[in-house]
């Protein structure tokens, strides 16, 4: 967009160039920050979501089995106590 004032035209071009450069710098900084965060997270021993869900399911099953075993032990102790009297 041309105006009658070349100074304003030059300022407009300069501002557009600066905005383009800032946008490029912003993208570069975001990419570097993402890479840095990825490196930090890779160094940590954090389980993936799928691994967490598998372990969670295994723990729930183990708790259920534990409750069933407690009932069986109580039944056996009751039988043993009844036959011992």
pTM above the 0.85 mark?
Answer: no
How does pLDDT run along the chain (85 residues), one tens digit per residue? Answer: 566 888 888 888 888 888 888 888 999 999 999 999 999 988 888 888 999 999 999 999 999 999 999 999 999 999 988 776 5
CA distances from 7 to 23, 65, 79, 82, 83 (A): 24, 82, 102, 105, 107
């Amino acid at each position: 967009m041309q105006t009658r004032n070349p100074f304003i035209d030059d300022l407009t071009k300069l501002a557009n160039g600066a905005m383009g450069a800032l946008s490029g710098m912003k993208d570069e900084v975001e990419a570097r920050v993402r890479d840095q965060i990825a490196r930090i997270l890779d160094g940590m021993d954090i389980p993936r979501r799928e691994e967490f869900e598998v372990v969670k399911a295994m723990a729930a099953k183990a708790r259920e089995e534990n409750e069933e075993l407690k009932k069986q032990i109580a039944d056996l102790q009751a039988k043993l106590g009844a036959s011992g009297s």
